[in-house]
Amino acid sequence: MQVYLDNAATTPIDPSVIEVMVEAMTKSYGNPSSIHGHGREVKTMIERARKTVASLINASPSEIFFTSGGTEADNMAIVRAIEGYGITHAITSPLEHHAVLHTLEELEKEGKIHLDLLRVSETGVIDLTHLEELLAKNPKTFVSIMHANNELGNITDLARVSQICQQYEAIFHSDTVQTMGHYKHDLKELQIDFITGAAHKFHGPKGVGFLYINGKNKIKPLLFGGAQERNMRGGTENVYGIVGLAKALELAYEDMEGHQQTIQALKSYMKQQLTERIAGVAFNGVTDEQDSLYTVLNVSLPPSDMADMMLFNLDIKGVSASGGSACSSGSDIGSHVLRGIGADPQRPSVRFSFCKYNTREEIDYVVEQLEKLYVKS
């Protein structure tokens, strides 16, 4: 049996998304920057996709900029906002995705900012009181806090963070890659400067994402070249990816509540089965469903001499999962998120992440394989 439970890394593409992308590839091949009919047709497709994304997150089309993915979008917001506004102080958490953390650390190494890391609890909850304390000392700061942690699944209250940032006139950026397409975002209600999305996290294609820039903000491009994306991102647009992104997000919003209920039930079921069948199992991150991604379950397994081979053994049995962020796979240093919360290095941790295509039968199979591994050990 083959079971894919690494959806926080990437999701399988929806067949309806493939359909619209193939149609665009085969019928609409003009360069969107060309002024002839073939070019105008493709340009119209991009703008239609932009309007779709904007309408779904309640933003203006002029606030949506397509990128190669979440990493580029994060870099563009962070680097250009800090440079453009002359900001010399930034705040983030030690649990951020490396697209954010490494970018800010590099800016600090270059002497452009002083970077403060927020305190976090042993379950990975960010200390917002600490955020207020730091902002009180350093107004007009750049703040970057992700909506949901990609390894633990912890959700941060963006509305509360936004209120704090507004109080101290801070620029607020949030990496919303893990929640885009899984939770509704209302950018008219939520006062935030920048958010990011990546299509492959909600059953769209890889290599395409977007950056939302609140209309009140003006920053320079990260990539220079042509006049694409209203002079904000040089280079011929990834037309088919953009079309696929818009379709995937549209599908995600059509039955978001239904998918949430279905996937949450799978997560809860797996948690229950693991608790009952593997003595000493625990879970990293917060346990309250309201404060945790319904798509992510980070399992802390009992110490075992097979700890280093846990993912390999699961893979042999046809189970795809992750030991942390997929963007760090192959690294020898392990998960900076688990280190950040002081997780026991002797306990193997596995992140299982779910999507609408997973079934209870698959969960039963995975739990059975884990149980067998512990019986053998």
Active site residues: 327
How many beta carbons lie within 10 A of that of residue 330, not counting itself? 5
Task: Tell me the C-alpha distance between 274 and 257, whole Å.
Answer: 26
b/e map of 109-129 (b: 16 or more CB within 10 Å)?
eeebbebbbbebeebbbbebe
Burial class (CB in 10 A: 0-12, 13-18, 19+), 245: buried
* Closest by CA position to 171, among listed 211, 148, 144: 144
Q: Token digits for 26?
A: 């085969």
Task: Tell me the C-alpha distance between 368 and 319, whole Å.
Answer: 11
3-state DSSP assignment of residue 152: coil
Q: How many CA atoms lie within 13 A of 97 on its CB side?
A: 26
Distances (CA, A) of 268 to 274, 281, 335: 10, 14, 24
DSSP string, 296-354: EEEEEPPP-TTGGGHHHHHHHTTEE-BSS-GGGTT-SS--HHHHHTT--TTS-EEEEE-
Q: Are 231 and 1 in contact (CB under 8 A)?
A: no
Task: Tell me the C-alpha distance between 377 and 375, whole Å.
Answer: 6
Task: Tell me the C-alpha distance between 228 and 182, whole Å.
Answer: 29
* Closest by CA position to 48, among listed 242, 180, 228, 203: 242
